[in-house]
Amino acid sequence: MLRIGMLTSGGDCQALNAAMRGVFKCVTKNAKEPVEFYGFEDGYRGMIYSNFRLLSEDDFQNILTVGGTILGTSRTPFKTINEPDEQGLDKVAAMKQTYYKLQLNCLVMLGGNGSTKTANLLSQEGLNVITLPKTIDNDLWGTDMTFGFQSAIDIATRCMDEIHTTASSHGRVFIIEVMGHKVGWLPLNAGIAGGADIILLPEIPYDIDKVVEVIENRDKQGKRFSIIAVAEGAISKEDAALTKKEYKKKLKNSPYPSVSYEIADQIFKATGKEVRVTVPGHTQRGGAPCPYDRVFASRLGAEAGSLILNKEYGFMVGYRNREMVKVPLDEVAGKLKMIDPNSSIIKEAKLLGISFGD
């Protein structure tokens, strides 16, 4: 009997169900022995508190196109994983106990950076673990692409497409705040696809005077409106020079809901132009996966299933140079794939006339 546990951890995104379906179909169709799949509910929490259910083929029917996750998800911060819970329970020991109680051969975890760190810890504790790269931020080290990313780009881009008409009608500056706290792959790609005039990223601290200059130059050219894609983690050059403690204090005392509203206020004061902020927020993580993500997540799931059948554990299934690869978990955990300000995509965007406020 082959027994496999599966969980989805961290923020939800499109194609989680497609990826789990890929694992299930690959293993059940190719295993030479009976197979049981156990789904842990609400991420690592389900494994800690032994909340699980035996999954059947019916659970994986008609979920290829469904967003969210049939198992539910939650955030279990890695920084507190070794701390007891409110009742004094050792969380790592509890997860190991659940794993052995179910006599699992392997745990499949679908998650992002923090979740992968916990998966690596469990691997180091002796559990057989395989992970799949899930995040709309595309910030996992060791893979060129994560599932959920392309679907989120599509949603953020559609938002910008629809903003263009109202921005041009009223001659306003519109700021679209796109998800991306530490890394800006999503606002970068959505900004290019959506025809943004300015894109502000966490990796490239901006000068508000440069931002204002672009808007004023567009005015002089008879262009009545401007579109700015702002990462939720965008940071000014002044703030980037602060220590982490100083920056956290500034954010805590800020009168603005987010950086986009601060930028909007600065632009209005400098130019007198009407500025509006649109925050698509969690819509970027919701809804059905786009066709690309359905294919990509299915491929990742099949590769993960292949690793299980070959008893190859301790890896994340990644994607490099258009091929699936297995990446050791200890190489992935704790690393973010940042945007290089000197990368070709940034240079090409600048050649197109896009400003990064630098």
Residues with a catalytic annotation lie at: 137
Are the CB atoms for 38 and 102 separated by under 8 Å? yes
The DSSP H or E segment spanning 332 is helix 329-332
CB atoms within 10 A of CB 89: 11
Q: How far apart are CA 218 and CA 150, in angstroms?
A: 30
What tokens does 267 get?
């632009």
> Can you state the angle between helices 149-170 and 185-193, rounded to 10 degrees?
50
**Residue 158 CA: distances (Å) to CA of 165, 190, 194:** 12, 9, 7
Phi, psi of 204 (to 5 degrees): -125, 90
Helix (H) or strand (E) holding 128: none
Residue 214 CA to residue 24 CA, distance in Å, equals: 51
Determine the distance from the C-alpha atom of residue 336 to the mean position of all C-alpha atoms in its chain, rounded to a whole number.
11
Packing angle, helices 259-271 and 208-220, rounded to 10 = 50
Cα separation values, 8 from 74, 278, 311, Å: 8, 30, 21
The span from the CA of 17 to the CA of 73, in Å, is 12
Count CB neighbours of 142 within 10 A: 22
